[in-house]
Amino acid sequence: DTAVSQTPKYLVTQMGNDKSIKCEQNLGHDTMYWYKQDSKKFLKIMFSYNNKELIINETVPNRFSPKSPDKAHLNLHINSLELGDSAVYFCASSQDAGYSGNTIYFGEGSWLTVV
């Protein structure tokens, strides 16, 4: 069973389109994240949600809108796609346990190519 699963794994789309990437975790975790890995393989957090509430929102264009219908799902919708949005997008999750700290588990990534 895949702990953090995201779909689609590969997505090629034209500039200007709107697309969504879905993510689901079956680990019972309270917190979910979206990370972006650019062409230089640098990974950076975009958003995090804790129990469906937005906690972290890094400097991300407002064309990116996360949506968490429940704590097991965190979808990423991107409007008006641009060439620079081409990247691998990772969904991740962790258990919220206060200061005890916890490991973040990643999905397999969604390769987005904007042409």
Q: Which residues bind other proteins (CB under 8 A)?
A: 30-31, 33, 35, 37, 40-45, 48-51, 55-56, 88, 90, 92, 94, 96, 98-99, 101-106, 108-109, 111
Cα separation, 74 vs 30, whole angstroms? 11
- Least Cβ distance, residue 32 to other proteins (angstroms): 8
Bond preceding residue 8 cis, omega within 30 of 0:
yes
Q: Which is nearer to other proteins, 37 or 65 (CB)?
A: 37
Cα separation, 97 vs 95, whole angstroms? 6
- Least Cβ distance, residue 16 to other proteins (angstroms): 26
Q: Which residue has the tokens 């965190």?
A: 74
6 with 75: CB under 8 angstroms? no
- Least Cβ distance, residue 46 to other proteins (angstroms): 11
